Copies of this chain bind each other. A is one copy, B any other.
Amino acid sequence: MPRKVCVVVTARPSYSRIRTALDAIRAHPDLELQLVVAASALLERYGDAVAVMEEEGFRIDRRVYMVVEGENLTTSAKTTGIGLTELATVFDNLGPDIVVTVADRYETMATAVAASYMNIPLAHVQGGEVTGSIDEKVRHAVTKLSDLHLVSSESARERVLRMGERHEAVHMTGCPSIDLAKEALDAEPRNITELISQYGGVGAEVDLSGGYVVVMQHPVTTEVEQARKHAEETLHAVSKAGKPALWFWPNVDAGSDGTSKAIRIFREQNLLPNVHFYRNFRPLDFLSLLINSRGIIGNSSVAIRECAYLGVPAINIGSRQAGRDRGRNVTDIGYDRDAIRAEIERLFERGDRPRDMIYGDGSAGRNIADVLASAELTIEKMLTY
């Protein structure tokens, strides 16, 4: 009997991050994939991940709406509570042998608590990293609820062990998002103008022939009040720099209202004649966009992880990625419009594309499936000290 592996996908970026592992689980002779899609992964305004998943041939076993509207901290907590209640029912009905949860979005706690409370071995992908903000708390709390740790880097492995997890439970698999980056890099070159024409979006028509940048800035959940101000600094910088920019809307999170409002006001004042806005691209399309860009700006983890592998220069703004291992592609900077602007201009001069394998070499999906198929499953554990 193959092991039933239940993966809960709660957001578009999580899907991208785990996709090659889903492929490998589905293909593995000793594993059976159970796929639960929940939270913003079901919602059109956050990229309709479920539609993408179905397009890419995945059969969805359960769909769970759980996002409570308000985009504030209270509703983040409530969303997680509803998800926890419902995922318990889902797991009770599906009877998985292992549950997999991905990374550190707030609602992953629903998956982690449900599985661990139900004595289902819990595998956590991307534990052991450090970032600050609420993600930091969530990630390490999930580590303490998990039985199997599928980490993305050597320093992450080290930290998970130092938190008291057992050696045999921690596996350095690399990050599956790097698998996609490898796929994109190995693929035929794309025509970027054609590529973006599929996606509509709103805002100015931009000419990409002289190079362009990609912008992706999320609110920081422990700095919700400043979300709007933080967005404004980047908006000013991008506006002043005047370089062609493709800007991606933020995830649903406490604070995204502030970010969205800042963008809307800039747009209404016509301050962004060089910017086109998008909701979401298919992952490989997005990676091609990065590969062909001058660099990425904002605070997305893509800048830290995929772009390290790809060698795409990144301007990382503020505290959201604090503490994450960085490749040589990253320049850190504060919420300061002038400094950001100067860095944007430097992207158009810079020639190097330094590549680092810190988050894996492109085989993470397969590694994860192999660990899920072969690891001893247990739900008992104690601190190693």
Contacts and interface: CB of A to CB of B under 8 A. Distances in A.
Interface of A: 40, 42-44, 62-70, 73-78, 80-89, 91-93, 106, 109-110, 113-114, 116-119, 130-134, 136-138, 140-145, 159, 162-164, 202, 221-222, 224, 252, 257, 268, 322-323, 379-383, 385
Contacts of A137: 116, 144-145, 381
A81 B67 contact: no
A320 to B, nearest CB: 12
Given A42-B70, A77-B113, A81-B83, 15 more contacts: A40-B69, A63-B89, A65-B92, A68-B68, A68-B82, A69-B252, A77-B84, A77-B87, A81-B110, A84-B84, A85-B85, A137-B381, A141-B141, A159-B385, A323-B382
A66 B86 CA distance: 11
B83 A70 contact: no
Contacts of A40: 69
B69 A67 contact: yes
Contacts of A131: 382
Contacts of A202: 268
B144 A140 contact: yes
A385 B140 CA distance: 13
A170 to B, nearest CB: 15
Contacts of A73: 117-119
Contacts of A75: 65, 88
A308 B114 CA distance: 35
A43 B70 CA distance: 6
